[in-house]
């Protein structure tokens, strides 16, 4: 019976898609322009989280606001598809293209309601919120694309694209909560200079004029947007280890945890007589040992690594500056705590784990120091998000022809990527959470039909988030054997797309044959 129902659903759905604006869905859209009407009538369905996330968007035109929501729904239902395929018709795709070409739909305006939703999720956390900063490069090979810049060390035409810097909020258990700061830009042409000339130029340039100022800008926006009473810890990799960033982080009301890039010089009389970071850590007693999980990334295999933990309090010497940099640089010494996490006996052929972490958080005993090491391990979450955008959503395949359009597209997909990750990770840390708290009744029902009632009925309150995510994973090829881990990101991408195909098919079938309400 279920096979017959599901086949009928798909038959109705395909008939519906061919019918265009004269199809099964009645013309309920009033006072809409033709593009919004096309989206509404080309099979768009309500994706509950999209309406919740973008409901407060203000683009200066109510029709444009609704167009953004409907475009986001389309792209969410098929996140790895090109715009044309995700939209399903030329009229719908044209509406999306015009959205990305509209100056009113700026990246900042698209992001604003998501930032507010992120702040609400942050406010609901009972523990600290980890704000991970990182930069990602997007390569675009489309020969007609304008406004792009170099993303490598040269000005070669085949090595051009856009740069995105983000501050992404996570719970201490690693669940992404949303974007708190984002900047997308095209880099200026790479100067033709020797290595020595580059070093001299950077030493004489004020921090506000350097690309690295992105770290400080995101830090300031994080401070401005953090809800009152929420403790935040900014985390970043070695690229953030420059003196002005540490000084700015010290001055903010939030805390910081960054990985050292260089062996900094210390003020000996304020650092137990030590001259540099490495010497200070070597002279500190071992506090204990813990195991950290290292995820795979294509180049390395996932593994667990036992590390020894040491900690010390030191005072960093300010670096020497020249030219305009002298007037803008922080020149006073800075006292920080430093945590070392070192893999003493690594397996052969693997990259050794050796972290030196700078922080203003207390690390006086093993428990406190180990907590900071575990927190820094959550930084890999932002790299997973980059993978979601590049490999899952395939944003680098986008054929929009200007940097401005691509920037708006990337902003929208950044939010979609957070949602994909949020559901996946939430199911891992809160597996017994009711599925209905995250998914709509329609989504649950469609999965039931697709899996031939392998899951409890949609009205069954016992259906858990873990069961729902496993069901989506099975649509993407996850076998669910006893020895298998929980569904991964790639499998869930495929399952997610098939789930929304099923939702559309089920809805079309109900409209065609008069079945009951799916919600």
pLDDT digits (tens, 9 = 90+) for 334-359: 999 999 999 988 888 888 889 999 99
Give 476-514 pLDDT, tens digit per residue: 888 878 777 778 767 777 887 788 788 878 887 777 776
Question: Does position 66 have pLDDT exceeding 60, yes or no?
Answer: yes
- 200-214, 248-262, 491-505 — which one is most confidently predicted on average? 248-262
Q: How confident is the model at residue 159 (pLDDT cuts 50, 70, 90)?
A: confident
Nearest by Cα to 127 from 181, 180, 175: 175
Residue 20 pLDDT > 50: no
The reported pLDDT for the residue numbered 2 is 38
In the predicted model, is pLDDT for residue 7 greater than 70?
A: no
Mean pLDDT of the chain: 83
Which pLDDT band, with edges at 50, 70 and 90, does 9 fall under? very low
Question: Which has more confidence, 223 or 326?
Answer: 223
* Percent of the chain at pLDDT exceeding 90: 47
Rg of the chain in Å (alpha carbons): 25
| pLDDT at residue 370 is higher than 60 | yes
Asked if residues 274 and 283 have their Cβ atoms less than 8 Å apart, the reply is yes
Average pLDDT over residues 264-284: 94
**Averaged pLDDT, 210-222:** 95
Q: Quick one: pLDDT band at residue 35, thresholds 50, 70, 90?
A: very low
Please report where in the chains the tokens 């397996």 appear, as a residue: 347
- Examine the pLDDT at 459 and tell me if it is beyond 80: no
Task: Report the predicted TM-score, pTM, of the whole model to 2 decimal places.
Answer: 0.80
Distance between alpha carbon 202 and the CA centroid of its chain, in Å?
30
**Quick count: other Cβ atoms within 10 Å of Cβ 314?**
26
Residues in the chain: 519
Tokens 């986008």 -> residue:
398
CA distance 379 to 452: 39
Helix (H) / strand (E) element for 177: namely strand 176-185
Q: CATH assignment of 1-29+430-519, given 1.10.740, 1.10.1760, 1.20.1440, 1.10.357?
A: 1.10.740
As a CATH number, domain 256-378 is 3.90.350.10
State residue 327's pLDDT score. Answer: 61
Does residue 32 have a pLDDT over 80? no
List the alpha helices (DSSP H) in 88-212. Answer: 90-101, 107-123, 195-204
- Is CATH 1.10.10.1150 the right assignment for the domain spanning 31-105? no
| pLDDT category of residue 161 using cuts at 50, 70 and 90 | very high
Report how far Cα 460 is from the mean position of its chain's Cα atoms.
Answer: 32
Q: Please, are residues 432 and 464 in contact by the beta-carbon 8 Å criterion?
A: yes
Of 10-14, 197-201, 241-245, 310-314, least confident by mean pLDDT is 10-14
| pLDDT, greater one: 183 or 321 | 183
Write the CA distances from 306 to 363, 367, 369, 450, integer angstroms. 19, 16, 15, 43
Q: Are 473 and 455 in contact (CB under 8 A)?
A: no
Q: Mean pLDDT, to the nearest integer, of 410-430?
A: 87
Closest CA to 139 of 108, 160, 163: 160
* CATH code 1.10.740 region(s) in the chain: 1-29+430-519
Q: How many CB atoms are located within 10 Å of the residue 75 CB?
A: 22
CA atoms in the 13 A half-sphere facing the CB of 501: 20
Residues in Cβ contact with 195 at an 8 Å cutoff, skipping those fewer than 6 apart: none
Helix 62-77 vs helix 90-101: crossing angle, to nearest 10:
120
Please give the Cα distance from 59 to 56 (Å, whole number).
Answer: 10
Question: What is the pLDDT, as a whole number, of residue 23?
Answer: 33
What pLDDT score does 453 carry? Answer: 56
Q: Which residues make beta-bridge pairs with 350?
A: none
Mean pLDDT for 281-300 is 86
- Please give the pLDDT value at position 325: 55
Provide the b/e sequence for 424-459 (b: ≥16 CB within 10 Å): bbbbbebeeeebbebbbebbbbbbbbbeeeebbebe
What tokens appear for 52 in the block?
A: 């919740």
Q: How confident is the model at residue 455 (pLDDT cuts 50, 70, 90)?
A: low
Residue 378 pLDDT: 93
CATH 3.90.350.10 segments of the chain:
256-378
């Amino acid at each position: 019976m279920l096979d017959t129902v599901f086949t009928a659903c798909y038959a109705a759905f395909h008939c519906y898609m061919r019918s265009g604006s004269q199809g099964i869905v009645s013309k309920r859209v009033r006072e809409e322009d033709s593009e919004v009407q096309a989206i509404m009538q080309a099979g768009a369905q309500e994706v509950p989280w999209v309406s919740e996330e973008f409901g407060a968007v203000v683009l200066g035109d109510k029709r444009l606001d609704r167009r953004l929501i409907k475009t986001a729904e389309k792209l969410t239902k098929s996140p790895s598809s090109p715009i044309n395929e995700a939209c399903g018709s030329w009229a719908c795709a044209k509406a999306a293209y015009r959205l990305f070409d509209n100056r009113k739909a700026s990246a900042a305006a698209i992001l604003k309601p998501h930032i507010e939703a992120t702040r609400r999720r942050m406010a609901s956390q009972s523990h600290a919120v980890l704000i991970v900063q990182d930069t990602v490069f997007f390569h675009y090979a489309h020969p007609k694309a304008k406004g792009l810049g170099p993303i490598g060390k040269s000005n070669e035409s085949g090595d051009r694209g856009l740069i995105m810097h983000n501050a992404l909020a996570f719970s201490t258990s690693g669940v992404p909560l949303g974007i708190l700061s984002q900047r997308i830009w095209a880099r200026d042409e790479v100067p033709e200079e020797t290595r020595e000339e580059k070093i001299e130029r950077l030493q004489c340039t004020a921090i506000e004029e350097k690309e690295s100022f992105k770290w400080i800008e995101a830090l300031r926006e994080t401070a401005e947007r953090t809800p009152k009473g929420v403790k935040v810890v900014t985390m970043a990799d070695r690229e953030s280890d420059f003196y002005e960033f540490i000084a700015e982080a010290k001055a903010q009301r939030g805390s910081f945890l960054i990985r050292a890039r260089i062996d900094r010089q210390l003020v000996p009389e304020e650092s137990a007589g030590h001259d540099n970071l490495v010497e200070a850590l070597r002279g500190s007693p071992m506090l204990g040992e813990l195991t950290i999980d290292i995820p795979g990334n294509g180049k390395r295999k996932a593994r667990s690594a036992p590390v020894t933990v040491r900690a010390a309090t030191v005072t960093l010497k300010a670096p020497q500056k020249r030219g305009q940099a002298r007037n803008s640089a922080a020149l006073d010494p800075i006292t920080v705590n430093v945590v070392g996490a070192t893999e003493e006996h690594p397996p052969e052929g693997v990259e050794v784990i050796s972290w030196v972490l700078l922080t203003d958080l207390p690390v006086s005993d093993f428990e406190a120091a180990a907590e900071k090491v575990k927190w820094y391990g959550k930084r890999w979450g932002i790299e997973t998000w980059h993978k979601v955008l590049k490999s899952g959503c395939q944003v680098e395949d986008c054929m929009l022809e200007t940097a401005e359009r691509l920037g708006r597209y990337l902003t929208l997909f950044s939010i979609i990527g957070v949602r994909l990750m949020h559901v996946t990770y939430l199911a891992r840390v809160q597996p017994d959470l009711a599925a209905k708290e995250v998914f709509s009744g329609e989504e649950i029902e469609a999965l039931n039909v697709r899996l031939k009632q392998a899951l409890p009925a949609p009205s069954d309150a016992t259906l858990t988030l873990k069961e729902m995510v496993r069901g989506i994973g099975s649509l993407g090829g996850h076998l669910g054997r006893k020895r298998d881990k929980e569904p991964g990101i790639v499998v869930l991408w495929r399952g997610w797309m098939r789930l929304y195909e099923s939702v559309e098919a089920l809805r079309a079938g109900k409209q065609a044959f008069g079945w009951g309400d799916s919600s």
